[in-house]
Amino acid sequence: MSISKSIRRLHALWLGCWVCLCVAACQTFSGNPIAIPQPLPNYDTVTWLHVTKLPEGQQSLVAAQTDATGAWRWVQTDAFGAPLARQMVDRQGWKNDGFLPPNAPASRLFAALAVLVGAQQHVDWPLIYPQQQQTRESGWTVYRYRQQLLWRIRPQGDNQWDVVLADGTTWLVEVVNE
């Protein structure tokens, strides 16, 4: 094989890798922004939420707590207790908290659930997300940032809500009373 053919093949391989990398980067950063809640006072209690992804019926448990620095810690586990997502959010944004791979859908869910967790701790949403707009539409509370839909929340009863994220993912959320 000639050197020019080898160079062309190497160039094609390099170009292919570059295109794949660019597509992956676009996929990672596309879609709606992930809201960053404000630091809150440290709460000694953990808020437990039972979440069910609809219509699949995939169930999981979410625990949320703020620490002494005001950072929020979130853990989502499956029905067997295996972690699906473990993240924290502080002033710099969302970060993995442990060795699980990045999970942007979980970050979006946690960002929406922060409103409900704050309400459980008697903290109103403007303190959590002062940069967002909130409107009421047909029984839903709609949250936007710069006119872009982030999520919608609708109460279903005592300590139970429907949460619909901007991508259409729907969750039934219930507070777990200890």
pLDDT per residue as tens digits for the range 21-73:
443 443 434 445 677 777 666 666 788 999 999 999 999 999 998 887 778 89
CA angle 50, 53, 58 (to 5 degrees): 80
User: Is residue 129 one of the residues assigned to a domain?
Assistant: yes
pLDDT score of 22: 40
Per cent of the chain over pLDDT 90 is 42
Query: C-alpha distances in angstroms, 104 versus 18, 28, 43, 141, 147?
Result: 23, 8, 25, 22, 21
The C-alpha atoms of residue 82 and residue 77 are separated, in whole angstroms, by 5
User: Is residue 40 one of the residues assigned to a domain?
Assistant: no
pLDDT score of 86: 94
- Assess whether 108 and 152 both reside in one domain: yes
Output the pTM of the full model. 0.76
The C-alpha atoms of residue 21 and residue 18 are separated, in whole angstroms, by 5
Least confident stretch, 23-27, 78-82, 96-100: 23-27
How many Cα atoms are found within 13 Å in the side-chain-facing hemisphere of 173? 28
The C-alpha atoms of residue 165 and residue 109 are separated, in whole angstroms, by 7
- Assess whether 13 and 78 both reside in one domain: no
- Domain total of the chain: 2
- Assess whether 51 and 13 both reside in one domain: no
Residue 114 per-residue DSSP state = H
Q: How far apart are the first and last CA of the chain?
A: 71
- Assess whether 25 and 92 both reside in one domain: no
**Average pLDDT along the chain:** 81
Q: Is the pLDDT of residue 4 over 60?
A: yes
Cis peptide before 101 (omega within 30 of 0): no
> Residue 156 belongs to what domain range?
47-175
pLDDT score of 156: 93
The C-alpha atoms of residue 98 and residue 105 are separated, in whole angstroms, by 17
